């Protein structure tokens, strides 16, 4: 892969740093306790994680059926929204995707 400008290289580096930070941050919460009764419990006693984070870049929520837009059908997203949690109000520290994703997972 060849990069033609230093701006492109900086963007790729920033994206890779963001992805690495997200990966390391998500792994930090997966550490198993080594003390007390939890250390003697079998591995089957651990509960599976029950989280699906759906993020879509440059999609307005007011153009999704689950937010009331009647002109398009989004059955997969509608099903997730109906069975899970649908956020009706969200704030981002910046309108850029990589830092916004980093703030979601920290």
Question: Tens-digit pLDDT profile for the chain (106 aa)?
Answer: 455 566 666 666 666 555 655 554 555 555 555 555 555 555 667 878 788 787 888 888 888 999 999 998 889 989 988 988 888 887 888 888 888 888 888 8
Residue bearing tokens 């981002």: 92
Distance (Å) of CA 10 to CA 57, 89, 99, 102? 20, 32, 14, 17
Domains of the chain: which residue ranges? 6-28+43-104
Decide: 27 and 105 in contact? Cβ < 8 Å.
Answer: no
Decide: 106 and 25 in contact? Cβ < 8 Å.
Answer: yes
pLDDT at 7: 64
């Amino acid at each position: 892969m060849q990069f033609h400008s230093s701006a492109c290289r900086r963007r790729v580096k920033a994206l890779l740093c963001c992805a690495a930070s997200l990966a390391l941050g998500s792994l930090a919460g997966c550490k198993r306790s080594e003390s007390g009764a939890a250390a003697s419990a079998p591995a089957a006693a651990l509960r599976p994680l029950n989280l699906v984070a759906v993020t879509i870049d440059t999609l307005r929520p007011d153009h999704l059926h689950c937010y009331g837009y009647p002109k398009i059908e989004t059955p997969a997203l509608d099903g997730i929204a109906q069975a899970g949690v649908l956020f009706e109000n969200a704030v981002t520290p910046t309108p850029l995707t990589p830092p916004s994703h980093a703030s979601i997972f920290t």
